[in-house]
Chains A and B, each alone.
Chain A
């Protein structure tokens, strides 16, 4: 059991689960269903971080060649920028 506690995969999983619950809590935190910039930005940033961790540790891109790392990073950054961009544009 202690071995699993030291396993980076398990540590990443614990962090991801905690982030999931945290972003849920932020989204539920007593707000009505109204436009809320703070919630949206927090939720999207936390999700991007989660995706980055899944790519890096579960998909093992941290030991992959540079082209793959860069492609995955570029995808995530461009996606996040477009999502936030369209969100703010429509406010």
Chain B
């Protein structure tokens, strides 16, 4: 193990492609690529974000759902959705290093998978259907419109679980993998998203799916959080000692529960 512990003076001499954490860094840098494409799909290509009004008239709904750029948006989305798994794996690797029960890691992974399918894939498919075959009955499009937005916001239960799990793991962790305050920030993220449950009750006003309380406050908390959390994940990858890297490789080859979270 001692031969592998490269000291700092030595590290700068190692060419980048021999960096022991190269795999982690490649995964990490796929995240901004993913979010850029993701933003492209949801904002300028489909115009589904910021959310349209639940009270929109049928003519408005039809013209939105028959826009041809929705097809491009859907095509890009089905190709890049897999990158969301890589993005979530970046958190998962850090949760795995924490001194918490593995149940946190499994809950996080399962929650993020379900959330991505319901929250990203379903709405875009609903809207894309309108553009795919423009002859659909407007009434059917109106229903798909509701379904699309409700499943878009409706995935927040999964994300609530994700953020709750991540927040608890960070706060309980004794290895100081991610800073404590990030755990608390994640807890606000969790608490504010609880308000999204109201989209099933209110069709207008602050609690509708385009409202101040159900949507805009969440976004104001979420966007900086998403950036900060990735900066913290980057720092965590950077600060990980190479000896730990080596021992975790051994450990995954021959799992030893006591080592994993003692």
Classify A-B as touching or not with yes or no (CB < 8 A). no
